[in-house]
Amino acid sequence: MSFISYLINGISLGSVYAIIALGYTMVYGIAKMLNFAHGDVIMVGGFTIFFAVSMQGLPAFVGVLLAVILCTLLGITIEYIAYRPLRQAASSLAVLITAIGVSYFLQNIALLIFGANTKAFTSVVTIPAVKLANDQIIISGETIVTIISCIVIMIGLSLFINKTKAGQAMLAVSEDKGAAQLMGINVNGTISLTFAIGSALAAIAGMLLCSAYPSLTPYTGSMPGIKAFVAAVFGGIGSIPGALIGGIVLGIIEILGKAYISSQMADAIVFMVLIVVLLVKPTGILGRKIQEKV
């Protein structure tokens, strides 16, 4: 019986990773950059909702809406100021480093505004928990909402990319920026749009992360951000269904590793499995094979 509840805990942790990983993978797939500041945008989303709902007493949906708007604007601004000037830089590492700078910046500005004290986040989810098998197995409302949102977002994103003009433009940009430009696609606009969507997803992820684990500090986003990055790589970075699968698998491995092997080594176990998977399948579970040419 406890195995099943570990499994459910794993899925609920994994679904949080998955929803963060969706944003990661989206930006990576199109802009080809690891946005290390993604986790911190999540934190900004969490704080916005906390400020609006818990401190100003606004209704939850208004708070979420505000967070989505703010994060979207933030994402576009970050891209414009810190990433765009480096898009043509000699090395793709340059933009990775500015992303780290942006991450430090967001953490420290939140520290100055909100202080270091932990804030307890009031869950915005009002669905009651599902209890099965004589209360032995409990699936929390947050888990249900997170999994459903994951699936909805995944389907929505896939449809958006494959069926709309803007989505097709994104695909084109991800294939070849130069060629896309020649075909009349506004590359800068498309990448801005990617960041806008990625950051809006970060706001939603922030809401779900903080609802599931209701403790909010300026550093809340950084570790889940890294884990989600691992999840995205796990599933094959750039692949949208891969992010979902990667996230959930990662969550399950982490919980089962903690339960049956060692609670101190949970992260080490996760990373170990990641290494093994990548050695067998070098581009992740659903990643595309890279063909190299001279």
Binding to another protein (CB under 8 A): which residues in 245-284?
254-255, 258-259, 262-268, 271-272, 274-275, 278-279, 282-284
The nearer residue to another protein, 152 or 176, going by C-beta atoms, is 176
Please select the residue that binds another protein; options are 70, 202, 237, 240, rule is CB under 8 A: 237
Q: Among 62, 69, 73, 89, which residue interacts with another protein (rule: CB under 8 A)?
A: 89
Backbone angles phi, psi at 154, to 5 degrees: -60, -45
Least gap, CB of 203 to another protein (angstroms): 19
CA distances from 34 to 37, 97, 202, 231, 260 (A): 9, 10, 14, 13, 33
What residues from 134 to 163 belong to the interface with another protein (CB under 8 A)? 135, 138, 140
Minimum distance from CB of 73 to another protein (Å)?
Answer: 18
User: Taking CB under 8 A as the criterion, which residues in 45-74 touch another protein?
Assistant: 50, 54
Q: Considering Cα of 212, then 218, then 224, then 225, what sign does the dihedral take?
A: positive
Measured from the CB of residue 212, what is the shortest distance to another protein in angstroms? 8
- Is residue 130 a contact point for another protein (CB under 8 A)? no
Tokens describing residue 37 = 């500041």
Question: Contact between 116 and another protein (CB under 8 A)?
Answer: yes
Query: If binding is defined by CB under 8 A, does position 133 make contact with another protein?
Result: no
Residue 100 interacting with another protein (CB under 8 A): yes
CB atoms within 10 A of CB 105: 15
90 binds another protein (CB under 8 A): yes
